Amino acid sequence: ETGVTQTPRHLVMGMTNKKSLKCEQHLGHNAMYWYKQSAKKPLELMFVYSLEERVENNSVPSRFSPECPNSSHLFLHLHTLQPEDSALYLCASSQDRGVTGELFFGEGSRLTVL
């Protein structure tokens, strides 16, 4: 098993659809993240969870709704998205809050909103 697994890898949805992205980490980490990667833009932090508690929400529109049922799983629920939300959504994990360590990224979910 790879360290951080994301599904689906590709998703096409209409603006009225509801879908979810899933992330699972097998590294025993306590912190998980959602990042958005758009073309020619820096990685944008969306949400951080530490020990299943949300600790960061960088002014993300409410059409994105995260869920962290346990320290190994992270979801991003999507509804009524806009075409400008089309991007690569990367999940990552790190060892622990308060310990500066590298991020371990999943392969990403490529989202296209029509």
Partner 1 sequence: GQNIDQPTEMTATEGAIVQINCTYQTSGFNGLFWYQQHAGEAPTFLSYNVLDGLEEKGRFSSFLSRSKGYSYLLLKELQMKDSASYLCAVSPDNYGQNFVFGPGTRLSVLP
Question: Interface with partner 1 by CB under 8 A: which residues?
Answer: 4, 31, 33, 40-45, 48, 50, 55-56, 90, 94, 97-108
* CB 80 to partner 1: min, Å: 28
Return the number of the residue (45 or 60) whose C-beta is nearest partner 1. 45
* CB 18 to partner 1: min, Å: 26
Return the number of the residue (7 or 18) whose C-beta is nearest partner 1. 7
Peptide bond into 42 cis (omega under 30): no
